[in-house]
Amino acid sequence: MISRQPPTRSQIIVGAILTSILLLFFFHGRNPGLNGLGGRPAELRRFGRTGKPPNSDIFNSTLGFEKIFVIGLPTRTDRRDGIILQAAVSNMEIDFIDGVKGDTVPDKAIPIGKDQSRIGNASIGSWRAHMNAVQEIVHRNLSSALILEDDVDWDIRLKQQLYDFSLASRALTQPLSSSSSSSPRYVDPTFNQPPDSMPNQIPTIKFDNLPSTIAPIVSPYGDDWDLLWLGHCGVTFPFDRPNHDKLPKGRVIHFDDVTVPPKGNLWSLNKPFTLVQDYPEHTRAIHHTQEGVCSLGYAISQRGARKLLYELALKDVSDGFDILLRFFCEGGKAGRKAHKCLTAQPGYFQHHRAVGPTSHASDIGNHKGGYREKGLTI
């Protein structure tokens, strides 16, 4: 400790001038951003820039959702140990939802189409565990919750990433500040439009130049979404398909996102991988969800949870859970309609494969074979 004399008047003036100069620099930083470990500077900078209140709830221990649920079999204590450590590092509060063994679910509890047969028990178990999480959200009337699978990994800058995501999701779904509540307008002209009148253009919105939108009341991510598909193994920019609902086509493009890995490290089950083919290195895109695969992490609003329970728990369980989630988002089998689902490429939650026998990777799929010498996140 250094003990000090009280500052003199001139010292105070010099200090005040220096502070003003620093603040000027601070608020004029060109690339608002991602230079911290999930800290506040970028948020403060934006606050200074736009005059809108900061969305600080996203930095709270449940990432701006009401709860975080992690799904996993209680017997996989290795994964619980891991995820509890990860959550502690990121200062996140999580609750567990027990995974379900499919063979304990009786036929009578599984809605099934006329000519369908029961899908495999591993998929039934996964479906049931996810449905239990969604049921919990509806039952407890939670305003929103994030549901994670127990083998996921994330960036230590997760909170900053989700903060940025929220700016994009609000731009895509909140009415423009310049419009009236009786006739809301959106920066994405394809959002909230009757499908027939939807323009075919692809509205591209730059992350560095987001429009001013009406502040949401319920969720810092916006008040007009059902599901945020935040962790996946691939997703596609919406495109029109015959006999399918049209999805809104707006996309927010975040260039120079320092948390996006180099292209060589990006991976997607969906081909073509448009993000990598058409955009520069370190670009993240936020858009409506088509052809999502893998249910690593997704958030649902209360409204979304109710619809999801109706569409996926009470209608034909014909496919693996992630494919059912796809039907929920874009419409499909059993007369399902599209819902409001947003996503990011690349996503924010990835699979983590720990060192050990490769068969340990999944209780659903078959990963038999060798031994993984080096842990990896893919």
Ligand X SMILES: *[C@@H]1O[C@H](CO)[C@@H](O)[C@H](O)[C@H]1NC(C)=O
- The residue ranges that bind ligand X (CB under 6 A) are 57, 60-62, 64, 66, 93, 102-103, 120-121, 141, 143, 220
- Determine the Cα–Cα distance for residues 81 and 200; give it in Å rounded to an integer: 48
Query: ∠34-40-45 over CA atoms, to 5°?
Result: 75
- Least spacing, CB of residue 166 vs ligand X, in Å: 10
**Coil, helix or strand for 312?**
helix
CB of 63 to ligand X, least distance (A): 7
Residues 189 and 211 sit within 8 Å (Cβ to Cβ): no
By C-beta, is 226 or 330 nearer to ligand X?
Answer: 226
Please state, in angstroms and rounded to a whole number, the distance separating the CA atoms of residues 79 and 65. Answer: 23
CA-nearest of 199, 206, 190, 240 to 340 is 190
Q: Which is nearer to ligand X, 162 or 341 (CB)?
A: 162
Which residue, 213 or 219, has its beta carbon nearer to ligand X?
219
User: Which tokens belong to 123?
Assistant: 């998929």
Burial class (CB in 10 A: 0-12, 13-18, 19+), 350: buried
For residue 172, the minimal CB distance to ligand X (Å) is 19
CB of 363 to ligand X, least distance (A): 14
- Closest to ligand X by CB, 63 vs 210, is 63
Contact 236, 246 (CB under 8 A): no
Q: What is d(CA 51, CA 49) in angstroms, rounded to the nearest whole number? A: 6
Separation between Cα atoms, residue 98 and residue 167, nearest integer Å: 33
172: enclosing H helix or E strand: helix 158-173
In the complex with ligand X, the residue whose CB is nearer, 302 or 343, is 302
Residues 6+ apart with CB under 8 A from 61: 91, 92, 93
For ligand X, the closer CB: 62 or 377 = 62
Closer Cβ to ligand X, 39 or 120, answer by number: 120
CB 138 → ligand X: shortest distance, Å?
10
Write out the two tokens for 75.
């017997």
Q: Which residues have C-beta within 8 Å of that of residue 176, sequence separation ≥ 6? A: 184, 185, 186, 187, 211, 212, 213, 214
Question: Which of these, 28, 25, 43, 32, lies nearest to 206 by C-alpha position?
Answer: 32
Closer to ligand X at the Cβ: 64 or 331?
A: 64
To ligand X, the closest distance from the beta carbon of 141 in angstroms equals 4
For ligand X, give the closer residue by CB, 58 or 233.
58
Least separation in angstroms between CB 106 and ligand X: 8
* Smallest separation (angstroms) from ligand X to the CB of 2: 38
Least distance CB 144 / ligand X (angstroms)? 7
Across 73-130, the runs of DSSP E, i.e. the strands, are 95-98
Query: Minimum CB separation from ligand X for residue 217, in Å?
Result: 10
Secondary structure (DSSP) of 217-233: SS-TT-SS-SEEEEE-S
Our CB check for ligand X shows the closer of 139 and 206 to be 139
Residue showing the smallest CB distance to ligand X in the complex? 103
Using N-to-C axis directions, what is the helix angle for 158-173 and 41-50, rounded to 10°? 30
